[in-house]
A and B are shown apart, each in its own frame.
Chain A
Amino acid sequence: MRTSLRIELADAEGALMRLIGLVERRGFTIATLDKAAASNGQSTVTMMLDARDAARNMDVLARQVARLLDVRGVFTSDTHARIAPEIAAEAAAGPDRWRQACPPRR
């Protein structure tokens, strides 16, 4: 299943490489990738992803992406995916299309 992920990324050295590497390594292929120019030290990356097998879970990936120190926010477009309780409140408060998958680390 193809799913979209939107990431708010700090404009830091290696941040994009780290993000792409993690997504690939965790079992997803990147079908498309769009990165806006950085503004106020941050940019937005939007990716369309395909899971390599049925066991791959987009919500787990979103949480793994959120662990990256350069990631300021993660949003998924898959509103039907199951989410962990600690994320539920964030999800409920998110915009209609893009659900914030994880609270910011710092």
Chain B
Amino acid sequence: MTALPATEIDDTATTAAAERPARRQTGAHAVVRTLEALGVTRVFGYPGGAIMPVYDALTGSSLQHILVRHEQAAAFAADAQARLTGKAGVCLATSGPGATNLLTGIANAYLDSVPMIILTGQVPSGLMGTDAFQEVDVFGMSMPVVKHSIIIRDPMRIPEMIAEAFAIAEGGRPGPVLIDLPKDVLQAEAYPTLPPEPRLEAGPSHPSESDLAAATALLARSRRPVLYIGGGVTLGGAVDAVRDFMTRTGIPSVATLKGLGCAHPDSETYLGMLGMHGGRAANVAVDESDLLICCGARFDDRATGRLDSFAPGARIIHIDGDAAEIDKLRRAEIGLAGDISAILAGITNDWLDIAEWRDLCVERKHRHAFRYDAPGSGVFAPAMLKQLSEVAGDDFIAACDVGQHQMWVAQHCRFSRPEHHLTSAGLGAMGYGLPAGIGAAMTRPDAKVVTITGDGSIMMNIQELATARRYGVPIRILLLDNASLGLVRQWQEYFFDENFSEIDLYDNPDFAEVAHAFGIEAFTVHSREEVPAAIDRLLNARGPILAHVLIDPRENVWPLVPPGASNADMMED
């Protein structure tokens, strides 16, 4: 079946409304006009009582509203758009359940430092605090997971406050900003005006010459340095600077889940992902290093394993755009907060003598490379993912869900840019992949956007197949079905004495038939010999398409660092 092109969507109601006489301008109009003035072209949302004035004002607007089928998906789709563009994604929902349904998406954006504007309707000001219908204090509930939040109480300040919210979301270390909009404010008379220039956060500071000299001196004394790359490199616009630094110094590098794609994928000295599911070459290099140059990473427990045995012999140079990350978990001999590109450019390597170390790391990288010659005729997911990303090329964008497939993507896919790897890294939210893929494919319809999901994860937001169908989104969905919650099953196998508790999804629906029911092209892959044709069909599809791939439920993710262990003590197949 083919998807309905966007142009065939019935919008006669919208057209008729646009031809009505001009109406009184309200706070809701000010919201819409301000978004337009700020250059927003698309919002993801779901209507409801308190936000209805905004939906009324959307009529005739240049904004494209994408109607999702659950508010959480609006947040995830806006998140993906933001990661690809660097500009704040926008989502909106009504008060009460609409707002609470957004919270997981807001937390996801917060933990991965994604710029996002969340507009929530609220009950009228006079009813706030009275337990009114669909009233929840989303302003209070969201505080731990937003960069900032505001309640707009004066309709005349709407342009100014929304403009400031965008500046906050996108400035410094990015993050989500929630704007709560009481219904009476949205309905009050207001005169939309151009938003003023927002007050900007202070730009990144620049390190002193003495700090850079100290870092250079520490590097010159090192014989086994490792560059530890995190997502802060992308946030700081320092991908090119990191690649230049790697080329100039030849220092072996490793990356966190969010740091994947920062190093050039063909770099010989790039050793891969470190941490719980990192490769042996990467984890051993960090373990043996005498100097760890942490660049935009935060010593997250998934990357470090047992913290007190992480890089035990290494001194630390910690470079980050956010001063609050320095010393948070591991004391740094030198902490450099500011513009990552400027800092890396200021560290010279005239006396660096690491040829022997570099050669050892590269030799280990080849010796411990992943193998793809799994026995049997069934689909071997790591091999399929590797092949998929290589065939798709530099325009490959993966929107991952959470589970074994997420780790296989991190281990085996090739990413030309870090923005092309969309993953719920900090929160680990199942259900991210499909709506994120929709947001990504609408943002980059020219790219090869593939949602990679599992049979557990896709059921968390499977209703969004309707969104993909409605808008004819060019999204490819690769569903790896092992009829279980695979990563939980793997942990139960090794760390809970094989007590397999509530992980069996034997009664999954036929996912290809489910996709067909939504009007989406779909097919099932049963064996390894079908893989090349399946990849070809997926990547050449013009509309939404789903490949339902049956894999061995016993397949695990290797290597694995056991909980509470050092990264040097990884388990392998």
Binding site for B on A (CB under 8 A): 13-14, 17-18, 21-22, 25, 57, 59-60, 63-64, 66-69, 82, 84-87, 102-106
Across-interface contacts of A60 in B (CB, < 8 A): 324, 326-328
Across-interface contacts of A18 in B (CB, < 8 A): 143
Please tell me if the beta carbons of A17 and B143 are within 8 angstroms of each other in the complex. yes
Interface residues of B in 261-308 (CB under 8 A from A): none
CB distance from B323 to the nearest CB of A (A): 5
Assuming A13-B139, A14-B149, A86-B323, what are 9 further A-B pairs, CB within 8 angstroms?
Answer: A13-B151, A57-B328, A60-B324, A67-B173, A86-B207, A86-B338, A87-B323, A106-B199, A106-B202
Across-interface contacts of B208 in A (CB, < 8 A): 85
B244 at the binding interface (Cβ < 8 Å): no
B335 at the binding interface (Cβ < 8 Å): yes
Which of B147, B324, B335 touches A66 (beta carbons < 8 Å)?
A: B324
In the assembled complex, the Cα of A87 lies from the Cα of B153 at a distance in Å of 37
Across-interface contacts of B322 in A (CB, < 8 A): 67
Across-interface contacts of A87 in B (CB, < 8 A): 323
Across the two chains, which residue of chain B brings its CB closest to A63?
Answer: B324
Across the two chains, which residue of chain B brings its CB closest to A61?
Answer: B324
Across-interface contacts of B336 in A (CB, < 8 A): 85-86
Across the two chains, which residue of chain B brings its CB closest to A87?
Answer: B323
Across the two chains, which residue of chain A brings its CB closest to B146?
Answer: A18
In the assembled complex, the Cα of A82 lies from the Cα of B147 at a distance in Å of 26
Please tell me if the beta carbons of B139 and A14 are within 8 angstroms of each other in the complex. yes
B1 at the binding interface (Cβ < 8 Å): no
Q: A21-B144, A63-B324 are in contact. Are A103 and B211 (CB under 8 A)?
A: no
| Interface membership of chain B positions 160-201, coded 1 if the CB is closer than 8 angstroms to chain A and 0 otherwise | 000000001000110000000000000000000000000111
B537 at the binding interface (Cβ < 8 Å): no
B148 at the binding interface (Cβ < 8 Å): yes
Please tell me if the beta carbons of A69 and B168 are within 8 angstroms of each other in the complex. yes
Across-interface contacts of A22 in B (CB, < 8 A): 144
Binding site for A on B (CB under 8 A): 139-140, 143-144, 147-151, 153, 168, 172-173, 199-202, 205, 207-208, 211, 322-324, 326-328, 331, 334-338
CB distance from B154 to the nearest CB of A (A): 12
From B199, B200, B334, B337, name the one whose CB has the most chain A CB atoms within 10 angstroms. Answer: B337
Please tell me if the beta carbons of B148 and A84 are within 8 angstroms of each other in the complex. no
CB-CB nearest 4 A-B residue pairs? A63-B324, A84-B335, A69-B148, A64-B324
CB distance from B524 to the nearest CB of A (A): 46
In the assembled complex, the Cα of A103 lies from the Cα of B201 at a distance in Å of 12
Across the two chains, which residue of chain A brings its CB closest to B338?
Answer: A86
Across-interface contacts of A106 in B (CB, < 8 A): 199-202
In the complex, 8 of the A-B residue pairs with CB atoms within 8 angstroms, ordered by the A residue number, are A14-B143, A14-B149, A18-B143, A63-B326, A69-B148, A69-B168, A82-B331, A84-B327
Across-interface contacts of B201 in A (CB, < 8 A): 105-106
In the assembled complex, the Cα of A84 lies from the Cα of B201 at a distance in Å of 20
Across-interface contacts of A102 in B (CB, < 8 A): 323
Please tell me if the beta carbons of B202 and A85 are within 8 angstroms of each other in the complex. no
Across-interface contacts of A104 in B (CB, < 8 A): 202
In the assembled complex, the Cα of A46 lies from the Cα of B328 at a distance in Å of 23
Across-interface contacts of B147 in A (CB, < 8 A): 69
Across the two chains, which residue of chain B brings its CB closest to A85?
Answer: B211
Please tell me if the beta carbons of B327 and A57 are within 8 angstroms of each other in the complex. yes
Please tell me if the beta carbons of A84 and B149 are within 8 angstroms of each other in the complex. no
Please tell me if the beta carbons of A85 and B199 are within 8 angstroms of each other in the complex. no
